[in-house]
Structure 1
Amino acid sequence: MTDRYRVVPASYVFLLRGDGDRAEVLLQRRANTGFRDGHWAAAAAGHVEAGEDPYTAAVREAREELGVTVDRADLVPLTATHRTERTGEPVDERVDFFFACRRWSGEPHAAETGKTAGLGWFPLGALPEPTVPHERAVLEAVRDGGPPAITTHGFG
């Protein structure tokens, strides 16, 4: 046994449209996932699979969850968040890679049935309740000028 972290990496894609006070983000209401069901969250997000880098995972998640095609070059890194749920379980130790994307092809829709209770565009200044807390923190930082390159969540 070791005291070193065994983290689970994940990529998040915030589809954004509009600028300034009119900027909006596409969110999904989580359902049937076992984690924060009923909360609003990034419309495309998921684990980085074996052999993938965070960009490749983000492109794949956008296609799988929203049915849109995103070019890797259109993914703008926002922050990497090291977070914990403080359970002591390895599955609850995470490193999340957040990307903004303002260009894609196709019309976003709930492509993975059963995992969402709906999609909606929301102003960055009026995020819905409840929003997954660590995602809300990133979106609020985006609204306020941008998060730092590395952030943490859940450490106290």
Structure 2
Amino acid sequence: MSFSLVPASYVYLLRGSGPDTEVLLQLRQGTPYMSGHWAAAAAGHVERGETAWDAARREALEELGVGDVALEFAFTMQRTAHADAIDERVDWFFTARSWSGEPRIMEPEKCAAIEWFPLASLPEPTVPHEAYALSQLGSGAAYLTFGWSSPSDPV
């Protein structure tokens, strides 16, 4: 059995402050992974030769049509979906409160809607590892894990 590690970048566009902070999410549709779930409005795999930072900016442009995204690093998450951790993911999460252009659906075959939601009241269903990530925004954690039977505490 071989081990594989799949890298991805996520961008959470935020507006407001304190308890009024909202996040822009997309309703996934027609995708093999978590169709019918709410997720980051912009996210995707890091391509060969690309940094996680560059992937985040590319995904924001490709999926939302926004540029000049003022990315702020939030944390990294290592996750798995199997009891035997042979297929793991490493995800880099970024937030942004400034960008150029109005966010819009650029890939209607993969996205049924985009909407702003209060961080304190996420829609159901939200992709589970993303719901956890969103709950950790502002926590100061730099490293998270998700999917193991005994999760580690945020570090």
Would the TM-score normalized by the shorter structure come out above 0.5? yes
Match of 1:117?
A: 112
Q: Deviations over 1:12-55 (max 9, x none)?
A: 00000000011000000011110010000000000000110000
Offset, 1:70: 3.0
Whether the aligned pair in 2 keeps the contact of 1:76 and 1:100 (CA below 8 Å) is yes
What is the total number of aligned residue pairs between the two structures?
Answer: 149
| Greater share of helix | 1
Determine if contact 2:83/2:148 at 8 Å carries over to the other structure. no
Aligned counterparts of 2:41 and 2:23: Cα–Cα separation in 1: 9
What's the secondary structure of 2:145's corresponding residue?
A: strand
What does residue range 81-120 of structure 1 map to in structure 2 within 5 Å? Answer: 81-86=77-82, 92-120=87-115
Instruction: Verify: 1:154 aligned to 2:147, yes or no.
Output: yes
Aligned with 1:12 (options 10, 13, 20): 10
Does the 8 Å contact 1:138/1:147 carry over to 2?
no
TM-score of the superposed pair, with normalisation by structure 1: 0.90
Which of 63, 76, 79 is matched with 1:80 structurally? Answer: 76
Measured in 2, the distance between the counterparts of 1:124 and 1:54 equals 24
Mapped to 2, the partners of 1:138 and 1:42 lie a distance apart of: 10
- Supply the RMSD in Å over aligned alpha carbons: 1.6
Secondary structure of 2:4's counterpart equals coil
> Structure 1: how far apart are the matches of 2:77 and 2:131?
12
CA distance in 2, matches of 1:49, 1:111: 19
The gaps in structure 1 that reach 5 residues or longer are none
CA contact (8 A) 2:9 2:43 kept: yes
Q: Percent identity?
A: 54
Alignment TM-score, normalising by the size of structure 2: 0.91
1:48 is the counterpart of 2:46: yes
Aligned CA distance change for structure 1 residues 14 and 26 (closer, same or farther; 3 Å): same
